[in-house]
């Protein structure tokens, strides 16, 4: 039995990409909607934030960036992205896996959540998050720190 089947996974949606404004500085943040007014903010790199924003708004650049290239590779070699699993949080760092299938063969690849999200959006694959991660990291909408939409920030 594959390890990713042993945990309780919940479906979530990308709510948007923002810049979190804090006393320590500004940080690109992808905000996942886990339902019931709860969200999970994941701090990410600026280039990953731009890539996720492009995928959300179906923008393509004249030349492929890494996530576009990865998506093209999946399509050309008839690989299926079954899902991204955000399955662990340790010391504020999130860990994720891509579940990739070719015919009847399935592989699990370690990835950063930001890269996995950017690829999953392009391939229209589900974004799943472990219930334990939701319990540890979710924040109610009213408790979110100040955020500016990345489109307004850039």
The string of pLDDT tens digits covering residues 17-33 is: 999 988 888 999 999 99
CATH of 3-153, one of 3.10.690.10, 3.40.50.150, 3.40.50.620, 1.20.140.10: 3.10.690.10
pLDDT at 6: 54
Question: How does DSSP classify residue 62?
Answer: S
Q: Tally the residues of the chain.
A: 154
Alpha carbon distance 88, 97 (integer Å): 10
The string of pLDDT tens digits covering residues 60-112 is: 889 999 999 999 999 999 999 999 999 999 999 999 999 999 999 999 999 99
Token pair 């934030």: residue: 49
In terms of Cα–Cα distance, which of 23, 22, 19 is closest to 31?
A: 19
- Residue ranges per domain, the chain? 3-153
Chain-wide mean pLDDT for the chain?
92
Q: Are 139 and 33 in contact (CB under 8 A)?
A: no
Higher pLDDT, 5 or 98: 98
Specify the 3-state DSSP secondary structure of 95: strand
């Amino acid at each position: 039995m594959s390890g990713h089947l042993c945990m309780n996974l919940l479906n979530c949606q990308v709510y948007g990409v923002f810049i979190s404004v804090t006393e320590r500085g500004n940080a690109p943040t992808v905000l996942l909607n886990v339902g019931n007014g709860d969200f999970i903010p994941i701090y990410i790199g600026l280039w990953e934030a731009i890539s996720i924003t492009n995928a959300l708004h179906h923008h393509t650049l004249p030349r492929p960036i890494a996530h576009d290239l990865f998506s093209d590779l999946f399509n050309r070699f008839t690989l299926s992205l079954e899902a991204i699993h955000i399955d662990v949080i340790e010391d504020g760092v999130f860990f994720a896996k891509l579940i990739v299938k070719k015919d009847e063969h399935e592989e699990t690849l370690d990835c950063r959540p930001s890269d996995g999200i950017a690829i999953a959006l392009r391939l229209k694959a589900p974004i799943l998050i472990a219930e334990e991660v939701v319990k540890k990291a979710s924040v109610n909408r009213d408790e979110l720190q100040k955020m500016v939409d990345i489109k307004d920030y850039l």
